[in-house]
Structure 1
Amino acid sequence: MELLIYSDSAVFSEKVSPLLYRNEDIHSLFLGVLGQIQANQYEDYFLALAEKEGEIAAACLMTPPHALQLVVFRHFPEIEQVIAGHLQNLGVEVSGIVGEQETSRLFAEAWTRHTGEQIKVLMNQGLYRIDAVSKGLKKSEGTWRVASKKDAEILEEWYRLFEQETGIGRHSTQAEATRRIADFLERKEVYVWEVDGVAVSCMKKSRPSKNGITVSFVYTPKGQRGRGYARSLVAEVTDELLLEYDFVMLYTDLDNTTANKIYKEIGYEQIANPVHLVFEEQ
């Protein structure tokens, strides 16, 4: 089996997208980040295809410092171990892996046998899909709108709090948060729930594919929780997004029972249980 590295994301996409689109919802993260790479939202990225007998067996994608994504299309014996070996021989640095449970576990075990690192479960995830919002859902007071530059300061604060509370990856500096929120606002990706002219909750759309789009950065500050703001915001914006897309996706932390309950009430249904593993020095 050989591992082919691609510097041209368009060529890589042309080869792998037909395989990914066979299960567009399951592979929405891979497709979405690949789309962001093609839109020049990442300067640094790694793309590779594992091929055997002229056929694509697996695909790798990584945007450092984020975790590796590995999708296996043809399950040859020890394919995860072979790919881990190829990456290590190439000197590729991998901080973790996110994706299907068994593939991620086998890759992580092979990787850490060589590095001596330990494997930590950063998040046991639920991948949810919705095709229609539940009817008769009670709405909280307030209305939603697309966020604007006037919301930048509060969104920067919420973004950093969101990272701290979810434990997702490294914590952004103030400068990094400012830059990311500015990018989100420029692309009109963030929505807020507003009560009496005050923003009380937020969410983001991201990573569109041909037929779907993903919801992320759902956050309500502690002083505003328990009033249904996030549920109302996600429900109403999801309904709006479904006018343009066939389905909407989101990832959750399965340990967060409140969030999972809210999404199910809206009409989201869990379709997969991916995992995010990180590698740490012992």
Structure 2
Amino acid sequence: MRCELLRGPIGLSAFAPAAAGWLTRDPVRHNHLATVVSQRADGILPTEPDAVWALLRDRAGAPPQWVATWTPPHLLLVPELDEEAATALVDALIEAGDTLPGVTGMAPGPTAVARAWVARTGDTTRPGMATRLLVLDTLRPPTDVPGRLIKADWTYRTWLIRAVLGFERDTPSDEPAEVTEEAAARSVDQLLSARLAWLWEVRGEPVALVVNRPPASGVYRISMVYTPPELRRRGYAAAATAELSQHLLDIGARAVLLFTDAANPTSNGVYERIGYRALATGETWVFTRTRTPS
């Protein structure tokens, strides 16, 4: 297995067309990877100058068998890599002088990468958050929740910043990036510019946030579902998610999916009750450096 590493915006321009066929093989399982690529290729998000785009091939010039992305300060993002591919990826990163903070993605890929990384570097690892990939099966929206779903606009910016801060602080994360108001404001501005943020509104007031990511191969991902603590246990998040799911189906979504914290039975139960079912498991490993730089 050969691993080619491309870097930054220039690397993305070569990676995106080379990886396109692979990403569309399984547009549901590979949606996270696909949206990382498409949001930067389409200019929705800026491409990190130190981003790494990996193509893993059986031989030079062959179509990729696997792909992976690393957009610091986020963790390395991988699909369900086998041991051979994980070892080739790790070898290429180490040879290039890269130091990984950790790895996340669809099982068993992250475990394979972590095993290879520890064997080559002597670093230690700890397990991070496990996730569940849920895909919409038959939508069963709640019928007893007051309010309506509206598209968020710039008049809600201040509320949205508070909501994004609350979501980031409440949600377990293994990412090294610090949660700040400035970072939340940047995230909100990106969401509003791309028209990806939605609100559940009751009597003219926003009570819950839900976001959809841009589609990849016709597949949409729902993310950042958040209700302020004082407004919880009233069904707002479930209603907002169900209504947005229906909207995405109405505009032609091939599939709608979301990720949940595998350790949170409450959120998993909410989504399963409105018609989502578990399809796959995600895993994370965080690395701690124990070697001295040479």
Name the CA shift for 1:223/1:281 in 2 (closer, same or farther; >3 Å).
farther
How many matched pairs? Answer: 279
Give the aligned partner of residue 230 of structure 1. Answer: 237
Name the CA shift for 1:173/1:231 in 2 (closer, same or farther; >3 Å).
same
Structure-2 separation of matches of 1:187 and 1:86:
35
1:201 corresponds to 2:201: no
Counterpart among 231, 252, 256 of residue 248 in structure 1:
256
- CA apart distance, 1:131: 4.7
1:127 corresponds to 2:133: yes
Paired residues of 1:127 and 1:271 also in contact (CA < 8 A): yes
1:143-194 C-alpha deviation (Å, 9 max, x unpaired) = 1101122221121112112111112223322111111101111111111111
Instruction: Give the gaps of 5 or more residues in structure 1.
Output: none
Counterpart among 155, 158, 161 of residue 153 in structure 1:
158
Higher mean Cα deviation, 106-115 or 139-148? 106-115
Provide the secondary structure at the position in 2 that maps to 1:271. Answer: strand
Give the aligned partner of residue 75 of structure 2. Answer: 67
1:63-105 C-alpha deviation (Å, 9 max, x unpaired) = 11111122367x5x63312321210110123221112222211
Give the aligned partner of residue 99 of structure 2. Answer: 93
Higher mean Cα deviation, 175-184 or 114-123? 114-123
Give the aligned partner of residue 272 of structure 2. Answer: 264
1:58 corresponds to 2:66: yes
Provide the secondary structure at the position in 1 that maps to 2:108. Answer: helix
1:21 corresponds to 2:24: yes
1:9 corresponds to 2:12: yes
Give the aligned partner of residue 170 of structure 2. Answer: 165
Structure-1 separation of matches of 2:80 and 2:228:
39
Give the aligned partner of residue 48 of structure 1. Answer: 54
If the length of structure 2 is used for normalisation, what is the TM-score? 0.88
Aligned-pair RMSD on alpha carbons?
A: 1.9
Instruction: Give the gaps of 5 or more residues in structure 2.
Output: none
Paired residues of 1:80 and 1:106 also in contact (CA < 8 A): yes
Higher mean Cα deviation, 192-201 or 167-176? 167-176
- CA apart distance, 1:132: 4.1
- CA apart distance, 1:274: 1.2
Give the aligned partner of residue 185 of structure 1. Answer: 192
Structure-1 separation of matches of 2:107 and 2:227:
30
Provide the secondary structure at the position in 2 that maps to 1:22. Answer: coil
- CA apart distance, 1:279: 1.6
1:279 corresponds to 2:282: no
If the length of structure 1 is used for normalisation, what is the TM-score? 0.92
Provide the secondary structure at the position in 2 that maps to 1:97. Answer: strand
Higher mean Cα deviation, 183-192 or 36-45? 36-45
Q: Which runs of 4+ in 1 moved over 3 A?
A: 113-117
Q: Tell me which amino acid in the other structure corresponds to 2:39.
A: Q
